[in-house]
Amino acid sequence: MTDKPCIVVFSAHVTDFCSRCGGTVAKYTHDGSKAVAVCFTFGERGESGKLWREREGITVEEVKQIRKLEVAKAAEVLGVEVICLDYDDNPLVFDEARRREVVALIHRYRPSIVLSHWKHEPTNPDHDAATEAVLRCVAHAVQSSPTTGAVYPWPATYLFEPTIPRTEESRFNPDTFIDISDTFEQKLEAMRQLATQVHLMDWYIQYGQHRAWQARDVSANQDIRYAEAFVRHSPWVGNRFP
Protein backbone atom coordinates (compact mmCIF):
# COMPACT_ATOMS: atom_id res chain seq x y z
CA MET A 1 0.00 0.00 0.00
CA THR A 2 1.51 3.32 -1.05
CA ASP A 3 1.09 6.57 0.85
CA LYS A 4 1.02 8.46 -2.46
CA PRO A 5 -2.35 9.98 -3.32
CA CYS A 6 -4.55 7.86 -5.56
CA ILE A 7 -6.19 9.95 -8.26
CA VAL A 8 -9.36 8.88 -10.06
CA VAL A 9 -10.64 10.74 -13.11
CA PHE A 10 -14.21 10.29 -14.24
CA SER A 11 -14.52 10.94 -17.95
CA ALA A 12 -17.77 11.05 -19.90
CA HIS A 13 -16.04 9.97 -23.12
CA VAL A 14 -12.69 8.33 -23.77
CA THR A 15 -10.77 11.42 -24.86
CA ASP A 16 -11.91 13.78 -22.12
CA PHE A 17 -9.60 12.73 -19.32
CA CYS A 18 -6.64 12.94 -21.64
CA SER A 19 -7.40 16.31 -23.23
CA ARG A 20 -8.51 18.14 -20.10
CA CYS A 21 -6.25 16.79 -17.38
CA GLY A 22 -3.80 14.38 -18.99
CA GLY A 23 -0.80 16.56 -18.18
CA THR A 24 -1.81 16.83 -14.54
CA VAL A 25 -2.47 13.11 -14.17
CA ALA A 26 0.90 12.31 -15.75
CA LYS A 27 2.60 14.38 -13.05
CA TYR A 28 1.02 12.17 -10.40
CA THR A 29 1.98 8.95 -12.13
CA HIS A 30 5.55 10.25 -12.43
CA ASP A 31 5.50 10.77 -8.67
CA GLY A 32 4.47 7.13 -8.14
CA SER A 33 0.77 7.68 -7.56
CA LYS A 34 -1.85 5.30 -8.85
CA ALA A 35 -4.09 6.97 -11.40
CA VAL A 36 -7.33 5.53 -12.74
CA ALA A 37 -9.41 6.88 -15.61
CA VAL A 38 -13.01 5.74 -15.47
CA CYS A 39 -14.58 6.31 -18.88
CA PHE A 40 -18.35 6.19 -18.77
CA THR A 41 -18.65 5.82 -22.54
CA PHE A 42 -16.50 5.39 -25.63
CA GLY A 43 -17.92 8.60 -27.12
CA GLU A 44 -19.18 6.39 -29.92
CA ARG A 45 -22.02 8.63 -31.02
CA GLY A 46 -21.12 12.12 -29.86
CA GLU A 47 -17.33 12.21 -30.20
CA SER A 48 -16.45 9.83 -33.02
CA GLY A 49 -17.61 11.82 -36.05
CA LYS A 50 -14.45 11.07 -38.04
CA LEU A 51 -15.17 7.33 -38.01
CA TRP A 52 -18.79 7.78 -39.02
CA ARG A 53 -17.82 10.09 -41.88
CA GLU A 54 -14.88 8.09 -43.20
CA ARG A 55 -16.12 4.49 -42.85
CA GLU A 56 -19.46 4.05 -44.52
CA GLY A 57 -21.55 1.32 -42.93
CA ILE A 58 -19.54 1.16 -39.71
CA THR A 59 -21.57 -0.06 -36.73
CA VAL A 60 -21.78 1.31 -33.19
CA GLU A 61 -20.02 -1.80 -31.92
CA GLU A 62 -17.17 -1.34 -34.40
CA VAL A 63 -16.78 2.29 -33.36
CA LYS A 64 -16.65 1.24 -29.72
CA GLN A 65 -13.93 -1.33 -30.41
CA ILE A 66 -11.78 1.21 -32.25
CA ARG A 67 -12.16 3.76 -29.45
CA LYS A 68 -11.42 1.09 -26.86
CA LEU A 69 -8.09 0.33 -28.51
CA GLU A 70 -7.28 4.03 -28.79
CA VAL A 71 -7.91 4.78 -25.15
CA ALA A 72 -5.90 1.77 -24.02
CA LYS A 73 -2.88 3.15 -25.88
CA ALA A 74 -3.42 6.68 -24.55
CA ALA A 75 -3.72 5.41 -20.99
CA GLU A 76 -0.49 3.48 -21.38
CA VAL A 77 1.31 6.66 -22.45
CA LEU A 78 0.09 8.42 -19.30
CA GLY A 79 0.69 5.46 -16.99
CA VAL A 80 -3.00 5.34 -16.12
CA GLU A 81 -5.26 2.34 -15.50
CA VAL A 82 -8.35 2.74 -17.65
CA ILE A 83 -11.80 1.35 -16.94
CA CYS A 84 -14.46 1.60 -19.68
CA LEU A 85 -17.97 1.18 -18.33
CA ASP A 86 -19.67 1.35 -21.75
CA TYR A 87 -22.79 3.20 -20.56
CA ASP A 88 -23.56 4.56 -24.09
CA ASP A 89 -23.25 8.24 -24.89
CA ASN A 90 -25.32 11.03 -26.32
CA PRO A 91 -27.24 10.90 -24.08
CA LEU A 92 -25.33 9.52 -21.10
CA VAL A 93 -27.85 8.45 -18.46
CA PHE A 94 -27.31 7.19 -14.92
CA ASP A 95 -29.76 4.84 -13.28
CA GLU A 96 -29.54 3.32 -9.80
CA ALA A 97 -27.39 0.37 -10.93
CA ARG A 98 -24.87 2.66 -12.58
CA ARG A 99 -24.65 4.91 -9.53
CA ARG A 100 -24.02 1.89 -7.35
CA GLU A 101 -21.27 0.78 -9.72
CA VAL A 102 -19.60 4.20 -9.46
CA VAL A 103 -19.86 4.15 -5.65
CA ALA A 104 -18.26 0.70 -5.66
CA LEU A 105 -15.36 2.01 -7.75
CA ILE A 106 -14.80 4.86 -5.29
CA HIS A 107 -14.78 2.35 -2.46
CA ARG A 108 -12.37 0.11 -4.36
CA TYR A 109 -9.77 2.79 -5.09
CA ARG A 110 -10.43 5.17 -2.18
CA PRO A 111 -9.03 8.13 -4.12
CA SER A 112 -7.69 11.13 -2.28
CA ILE A 113 -8.19 13.19 -5.44
CA VAL A 114 -11.17 12.99 -7.78
CA LEU A 115 -11.32 14.83 -11.10
CA SER A 116 -14.35 15.21 -13.30
CA HIS A 117 -16.04 17.58 -15.70
CA TRP A 118 -17.17 21.11 -15.01
CA LYS A 119 -20.75 20.98 -13.77
CA HIS A 120 -22.46 23.23 -16.32
CA GLU A 121 -21.95 22.33 -19.96
CA PRO A 122 -24.81 23.37 -22.24
CA THR A 123 -22.77 22.46 -25.32
CA ASN A 124 -22.10 18.88 -24.21
CA PRO A 125 -24.73 17.59 -21.77
CA ASP A 126 -23.00 14.22 -21.31
CA HIS A 127 -20.26 16.08 -19.48
CA ASP A 128 -22.38 17.69 -16.81
CA ALA A 129 -24.48 14.52 -16.53
CA ALA A 130 -21.26 12.70 -15.67
CA THR A 131 -20.31 15.22 -13.02
CA GLU A 132 -23.75 15.35 -11.46
CA ALA A 133 -23.54 11.58 -11.00
CA VAL A 134 -19.93 11.65 -9.80
CA LEU A 135 -20.54 14.31 -7.14
CA ARG A 136 -23.56 12.39 -5.85
CA CYS A 137 -21.64 9.12 -5.85
CA VAL A 138 -18.71 10.64 -3.97
CA ALA A 139 -21.18 11.80 -1.32
CA HIS A 140 -22.74 8.33 -1.16
CA ALA A 141 -19.31 6.71 -0.99
CA VAL A 142 -18.06 8.74 1.96
CA GLN A 143 -21.30 8.19 3.86
CA SER A 144 -21.58 4.48 3.39
CA SER A 145 -18.49 2.42 3.98
CA PRO A 146 -19.95 -0.84 2.81
CA THR A 147 -19.66 -3.15 5.80
CA THR A 148 -16.98 -1.90 8.17
CA GLY A 149 -18.32 1.48 9.23
CA ALA A 150 -14.84 2.90 8.62
CA VAL A 151 -14.62 6.64 8.14
CA TYR A 152 -13.67 7.63 4.63
CA PRO A 153 -12.61 11.28 4.19
CA TRP A 154 -13.94 13.34 1.31
CA PRO A 155 -11.54 13.29 -1.61
CA ALA A 156 -10.28 16.63 -2.88
CA THR A 157 -12.50 17.14 -5.89
CA TYR A 158 -11.57 19.32 -8.85
CA LEU A 159 -13.62 19.96 -11.97
CA PHE A 160 -11.73 20.33 -15.22
CA GLU A 161 -11.97 22.41 -18.35
CA PRO A 162 -15.33 22.32 -20.15
CA THR A 163 -15.64 22.04 -23.90
CA ILE A 164 -13.26 24.42 -25.63
CA PRO A 165 -13.32 27.00 -27.06
CA ARG A 166 -16.72 27.86 -25.57
CA THR A 167 -15.75 27.88 -21.92
CA GLU A 168 -17.36 31.28 -21.20
CA GLU A 169 -20.70 29.83 -22.28
CA SER A 170 -20.20 27.23 -19.56
CA ARG A 171 -19.39 29.96 -17.00
CA PHE A 172 -16.10 28.28 -16.14
CA ASN A 173 -13.89 30.47 -13.97
CA PRO A 174 -10.84 28.43 -12.97
CA ASP A 175 -9.39 28.92 -9.50
CA THR A 176 -6.63 26.32 -9.79
CA PHE A 177 -3.91 26.05 -12.43
CA ILE A 178 -1.49 23.15 -12.73
CA ASP A 179 1.78 23.82 -14.53
CA ILE A 180 2.12 20.94 -17.01
CA SER A 181 5.11 22.26 -18.94
CA ASP A 182 7.08 19.13 -18.05
CA THR A 183 4.37 16.64 -19.06
CA PHE A 184 2.83 18.47 -22.01
CA GLU A 185 4.65 16.44 -24.67
CA GLN A 186 3.47 13.28 -22.94
CA LYS A 187 -0.09 14.58 -22.97
CA LEU A 188 0.17 15.29 -26.70
CA GLU A 189 1.52 11.81 -27.34
CA ALA A 190 -1.44 10.36 -25.46
CA MET A 191 -3.85 12.51 -27.47
CA ARG A 192 -2.16 11.33 -30.67
CA GLN A 193 -3.22 7.78 -29.77
CA LEU A 194 -6.85 8.91 -29.73
CA ALA A 195 -6.73 9.11 -33.50
CA THR A 196 -10.47 9.57 -34.02
CA GLN A 197 -10.21 12.99 -32.35
CA VAL A 198 -6.65 13.84 -33.27
CA HIS A 199 -7.78 17.31 -34.41
CA LEU A 200 -8.13 18.18 -30.73
CA MET A 201 -4.36 18.29 -30.33
CA ASP A 202 -4.19 21.73 -31.94
CA TRP A 203 -7.08 22.96 -29.82
CA TYR A 204 -5.45 21.87 -26.58
CA ILE A 205 -2.05 23.25 -27.57
CA GLN A 206 -3.77 26.63 -27.87
CA TYR A 207 -5.65 26.21 -24.61
CA GLY A 208 -2.61 24.89 -22.76
CA GLN A 209 -0.81 28.07 -23.77
CA HIS A 210 -3.82 30.23 -22.91
CA ARG A 211 -4.12 28.77 -19.41
CA ALA A 212 -0.35 29.08 -18.95
CA TRP A 213 -0.58 32.76 -19.88
CA GLN A 214 -3.22 33.24 -17.18
CA ALA A 215 -1.20 31.16 -14.70
CA ARG A 216 1.90 33.28 -15.37
CA ASP A 217 -0.09 36.44 -14.82
CA VAL A 218 -1.44 35.22 -11.49
CA SER A 219 1.78 33.70 -10.19
CA ALA A 220 4.51 35.78 -11.84
CA ASN A 221 6.16 32.43 -12.63
CA GLN A 222 7.39 33.10 -16.14
CA ASP A 223 8.53 29.50 -16.62
CA ILE A 224 4.99 28.14 -17.06
CA ARG A 225 4.57 27.30 -20.76
CA TYR A 226 1.53 25.00 -20.56
CA ALA A 227 -1.14 24.66 -17.89
CA GLU A 228 -4.42 22.92 -17.17
CA ALA A 229 -7.22 24.73 -15.37
CA PHE A 230 -9.65 23.50 -12.71
CA VAL A 231 -12.29 24.64 -10.28
CA ARG A 232 -11.92 23.21 -6.80
CA HIS A 233 -15.28 21.78 -5.74
CA SER A 234 -14.61 20.36 -2.27
CA PRO A 235 -13.64 22.62 0.67
CA TRP A 236 -9.96 22.86 1.54
CA VAL A 237 -8.97 22.35 5.19
CA GLY A 238 -5.69 23.33 6.84
CA ASN A 239 -4.23 25.28 9.73
CA ARG A 240 -2.98 28.01 7.39
CA PHE A 241 -4.17 29.18 4.01
CA PRO A 242 -2.71 27.03 1.20
The residues that touch Zn ion, with contacts defined as CB under 5 A, are 12-13, 16
- Nearest residue (CB) to Zn ion, 16 versus 161: 16
CB of 45 or CB of 211, closer to Zn ion:
45
- Closest distance between Zn ion and the C-beta of residue 50, in Å? 14
What residues contact residue 213 under an 8 Å CB cut-off, 6+ apart?
A: none
Residues 6+ apart with CB under 8 A from 75: 37, 81, 82, 190
- The answer to whether the beta carbons of residues 136 and 179 sit under 8 Å apart is no
Shortest distance in whole angstroms from residue 129 CB to Zn ion = 11
Query: Closest by alpha carbon to 45, among 5, 81, 14?
Result: 14
Residues 6 or more apart in contact with residue 46 via CB below 8 angstroms:
13, 89, 90, 124, 126
Q: Decide whether 13 or 119 has the Cβ nearer to Zn ion.
A: 13
In whole angstroms, the minimum distance from the beta carbon of 15 to Zn ion comes to 6
CB of 235 to Zn ion, least distance (A): 27
Terminal Cα distance for the chain, rounded? 27
Question: Minimum distance between the CB of residue 205 and Zn ion, rounded to whole angstroms?
Answer: 18
Phi, psi of 213 (to 5 degrees): -60, -45
Q: Nearest to Zn ion by Cβ — which residue?
A: 13
Nearer Cβ to Zn ion (118/177):
118
The two counts, helices (H) then strands (E), for the chain are 7, 7
| Nearer residue to Zn ion within complex by CB, 129 or 141 | 129
